[in-house]
């Protein structure tokens, strides 16, 4: 199935290229390098969140609280920045990652120690984290003029032709690839999702692996909290509302199996870019804002159907081989 997966990723690249070419015929300059770089920069936060989501999904879990985590963390660092303008930006970023990781650890702990299904845990914490953002801010906004220039500008600084935000996403992609393919944690994540029982028999602590995946997802959500607030130059309770679904959609489009154990970093990134291209193209080619949501929804469903069919095919091959011992029992 490795070949199939690779095919799927190549196929996704092809679809994205065709989409860009198609949109370029309707909107001049859509395929220009500057615009493509812009789309990538626009999709950076989704890519970062999707990679955290992917680590969680690999372990047969799901993290629905990422957007709420992002909102709380973004609010916290924005308020800190407004209240203590002298704190160095690096410290604020570390703070954002730390808060995010802590919120992720709460999810992970509930899933690990109390054995509550991840979807239930994160549905609960989704509301809690967003509620906490409300309590923290009292419902108020932190606006651009309250934030320091460095807080707002560093992600926009161009380095070698790309903004720092894009570079952060690129580093996270490389980091995620490294963690998932080169560290024992990554292998444990694939094994825990691929066959939890076999993983236990191989001496892997599934609960701990899930915990780490949630911490990773939370840390990336925290980082994204800062990036989001800085990018849109405003922090309020409802930022990124519903964005957790985009991260799940990016994973599913990218071929990460919701059942766990299957998927690649390239897939998640391409899934996010696929969504990014559509979101950027629809307004440009003059689709009414009312139709945009419906259209991107239809495209997501189509991509999921396509993926489900690909997975089914792979499943049949396995079933045929396994039919022998089962039949003879």
Region of 121-129, 180-188, 270-278, 298-306 interacting with another protein (CB under 8 A): 180-188
If the CB atoms of residues 163 and 255 are measured against another protein, the closer one turns out to be: 255
Region of 46-54, 108-116, 294-302, 311-319 interacting with another protein (CB under 8 A): 311-319
Contacts of 299 (CB under 8 A, 6+ apart): 278
According to DSSP, residue 238 is labeled T
d(CA 97, CA 136): 18
Q: Kindly write down the DSSP assignment for every residue of 160-225, as one continuous string.
A: TTEEHHHHHHHHHHHHHHHHHHHSHHHHHHHHHHH-HHHHHHTT--HHHHHHHHHHHHHHHHHHHH
Residues contacting another protein: total by CB under 8 A = 36
User: What is each CA distance from 324 to 102, 198, 328, in whole angstroms?
Assistant: 48, 20, 6
What is the footprint of another protein within residues 259-298 (CB under 8 A)? Answer: 261-262
When binding is defined by CB under 8 A, the residue of 174, 183, 291, 305 that contacts another protein is: 183
d(CA 62, CA 108): 11
Region of 40-48, 132-140, 186-194, 212-220 interacting with another protein (CB under 8 A): 186-194
User: Nearest Cα to 75, choosing from 222, 215, 236, 253?
Assistant: 236
User: Nearest Cα to 97, choosing from 187, 175, 186, 1?
Assistant: 175
Cβ of residue 56: shortest distance to another protein, in angstroms?
Answer: 17
When binding is defined by CB under 8 A, the residue of 200, 258, 299, 310 that contacts another protein is: 200
- Strands 158-159 and 234-235 turn out to be unpaired
Q: Does 322 bind another protein (CB under 8 A)?
A: yes
When binding is defined by CB under 8 A, the residue of 10, 14, 83, 198 that contacts another protein is: 198
Cβ of residue 176: shortest distance to another protein, in angstroms?
Answer: 15
If the CB atoms of residues 161 and 325 are measured against another protein, the closer one turns out to be: 325
d(CA 250, CA 265): 11
Q: Does 318 bind another protein (CB under 8 A)?
A: yes
What is the footprint of another protein within residues 221-260 (CB under 8 A)? Answer: 257
If the CB atoms of residues 201 and 290 are measured against another protein, the closer one turns out to be: 201
* Site residues, another protein (CB under 8 A): 1-2, 181-184, 186-187, 190-191, 194-195, 197-205, 257, 261-262, 314, 317-318, 321-329
């Amino acid at each position: 199935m490795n070949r199939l997966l690779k095919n799927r990723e190549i196929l996704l690249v092809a679809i994205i290229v065709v989409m860009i070419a198609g949109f370029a015929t309707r909107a001049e300059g859509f395929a220009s390098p500057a615009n493509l770089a812009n789309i990538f920069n626009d999709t950076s936060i989704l890519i970062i969140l999707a990679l955290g989501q992917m680590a969680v999904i690999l372990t047969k879990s799901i993290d629905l609280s990422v957007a709420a985590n992002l909102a709380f963390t973004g609010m916290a660092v924005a308020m800190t920045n407004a209240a203590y303008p002298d704190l160095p930006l690096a410290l604020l970023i570390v703070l954002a990652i730390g808060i995010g990781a802590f919120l992720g650890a709460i999810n992970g702990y509930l899933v690990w120690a109390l054995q509550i299904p991840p979807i239930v845990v994160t549905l609960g914490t989704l509301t809690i984290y967003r509620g906490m953002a409300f309590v923290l801010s009292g419902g108020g906004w932190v606006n651009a003029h309250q934030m320091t220039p460095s807080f707002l500008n560093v992600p926009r600084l161009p380095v070698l032709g790309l903004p720092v935000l894009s570079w952060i996403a690129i580093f996270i992609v490389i980091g995620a690839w490294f963690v998932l393919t080169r560290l024992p944690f990554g292998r444990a994540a694939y094994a825990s999702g691929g066959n939890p029982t076999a993983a236990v028999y191989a001496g892997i602590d599934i609960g701990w692996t899930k915990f780490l995946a949630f911490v990773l997802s939370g840390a990336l959500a925290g980082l994204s909290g800062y990036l989001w607030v800085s990018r849109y130059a405003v922090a309020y309770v409802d930022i990124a509302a519903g964005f957790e679904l985009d991260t799940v959609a990016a994973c599913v489009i990218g071929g990460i199996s919701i059942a766990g154990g299957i998927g690649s970093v390239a897939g998640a990134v391409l899934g996010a870019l696929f969504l990014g291209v559509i979101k950027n193209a629809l307004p440009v080619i003059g689709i009414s804002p009312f139709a945009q949501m419906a259209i991107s929804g239809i495209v997501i469903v189509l991509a999921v159907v396509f993926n489900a069919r690909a997975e089914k095919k792979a499943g049949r091959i396995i079933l045929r081989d396994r039919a022998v011992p089962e039949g003879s029992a």
